[in-house]
A and B are shown apart, each in its own frame.
Chain A
Amino acid sequence: MNKTSIKDSIAFKNREGNEKIFKYIFLSAALISVISVIAIIVFVFGKGIRPFFGDDAYSFTNFITGLRWAPSDNEFGIFYMIAGSLLSTLGAIVLGVPVGLLTAVYIAELAPKKIEAILRPAIELLAGIPSVIFGVFGLGIIVPIIKDISPQQSGQSMLAVILVLTMMILPTIISLSLSSIRAIPKSYKDASYGLGASKIQTIFKCILPAAKSGILAAVVLGIGRAIGETTAVMMVAGNNSGGIPLSIWDKTRPLTSNVAMEMGYASGQHQELLFSTGVVLFIFIMVINYVLIKITSKVGSEGEKR
């Protein structure tokens, strides 16, 4: 028998080899992101740690606790920036979470289809607006209004930062809470209605508690977005050279602004200390990511024996 079998074809014989090659192509594609993150960490940390060692080392304590940033006086304190970043983020979360959560609940449970058809694209568009446009809006509209009502001279202030950040984190909070609310099984709602609960009671006592892990993840991601935001914030913050913001009317200088504003022309130790600022920011982001992983892994195991 001399029949030609598909098993004799060259392609068939080579298939195993091809499979291997493709596996490596996929692997190398996947490695690019890992390599990028490692490269960034090595580079930023390497440069950022250097100013604290050696003969002309800058005091790490002065750096981390300092209340003034004045490169011309060789003074590099970032504590007031850390405070500014954290306070602005806190403000944005305090405003953004309730608004975002109520919006998500409204879309998921209450809104008629027609209103949802307007709301969802609007929120998606808000998410897609470039950061600089938020900054322009903040500078053109929010800052002048604040200037009118503020007890201080300038409208550029922590309040302006908080308002811009609130707008920017809303889409994150809304869309993530929305999907966690939508993921609640209908049987929970049936059980609640079956016990004589009203719609509002069902939302607050049954749906939101059941969605809490997802909502928490949304909040943490919102914090990450707010603390890392640069361009828009830089345009409305005022970027003072020292002093912890004590009221919402005070100017502030978030960590991100500091790096973005001066990196272009800084050199020597000044430049390295900007990297150090980046390291501090990086550490905040890593903590946030760690918390996020903890929360989301809990979502999967929700209902297991606690």
Chain B
Amino acid sequence: MNNNSKFSVEDLDLFYGDFQALKKINMEIQEKEITALIGPSGCGKSTFLKTLNRMNDLVEGVTIKGKISLDGKDIFKEMDAISLRTRVGMVFQQPNPFPMSIYDNVAYGPRIHGITKKSVLDEIVERSLRQAAIWDEVKDKLKKSALAISGGQQQRLCIARTLAIEPEVILMDEPTSALDPISTLKIEDLAVELKKDYTIIMVTHNMQQAARISDKTAFFLVGEVVEFDSTENIFNNPKDIRTEEYITGRFG
């Protein structure tokens, strides 16, 4: 095992009922890097992402075999889902702020984890919004509904909400697929900025995006990892013909 490994995935199989969605996945995900997961729809990349913070636990009929460890600790056996999710935050495909004020959205995580003091919450909210590069746009309307800001702002708010629980890893499930190009660029810049402090794993349909911002890229196909390497190698010297066909747009 590599020393800088944050997540270590060994022989991971995942079934929805009888259907095998992930087959023998092995992956070492490095700390403070952006790892992009690419592949055609239905290839299992989102399923894999959701396994990393055990969001699949909520789906009925899921069975998981194999081992995933976070900093060497088995996430299924040595951790409960709640403490895992406070270390591994998640940003979803559609911006999904709660129907509450911007402030309450960011304070939601800290509050459920027991922080009630107003001054502490104020500080966390401001810090998280600044980190997510949205503070200047919303600082005068923290009490306004989070649903009243634009989609791109909502997604950065969701990132701020995740940052507020001080995770170590941030999972992003196609975070820009519902956004316009300018908002997309802002999220990408933000991801690059955040990787100084966080490990980021991002599912994306957009190959330019993977090429632009990720350090490592994993190519998924029908539940398997075809190739996992540095982004440079995946896009310039793919070893597997299927990877090459996919990144050159011949299928997918």
Contact = CB atoms under 8 A, between A and B. Distances in A.
Contacts of A210: 98-99
A205 B86 contact: no
A194 B170 CA distance: 11
Given A195-B108, A302-B99, A303-B147, A190 B85 contact: no
B85 A191 contact: no
A198 B58 CA distance: 12
Contacts of A302: 99
Interface residues of A, number: 22
Contacts of B53: 194
Contacts of A108: none
Contacts of A196: 82-83, 85-86, 109, 112-113, 165
A106 B151 CA distance: 33
Interface string A181-221: 00001011011111111100100011001100000000000
A225 to B, nearest CB: 28
A191 B96 contact: yes
Interface size class of B (residues with CB under 8 A): 20 to 34
Contacts of B94: 187
B108 A205 contact: yes
B76 interface: no
A209 B162 CA distance: 20
Contacts of B112: 192, 195-198, 201, 205
Given A191-B161, A193-B85, A196-B113, 14 more contacts: A188-B96, A188-B98, A190-B90, A190-B92, A191-B92, A191-B96, A191-B158, A194-B85, A195-B85, A195-B109, A196-B109, A209-B98, A302-B99, A304-B148
Interface of B: 53, 55, 58, 82-83, 85-86, 89-90, 92, 94, 96-100, 108-109, 111-113, 144-145, 147-148, 158, 161-162, 165
6 contacts: A190-B96, A191-B92, A195-B89, A205-B112, A209-B100, A303-B147
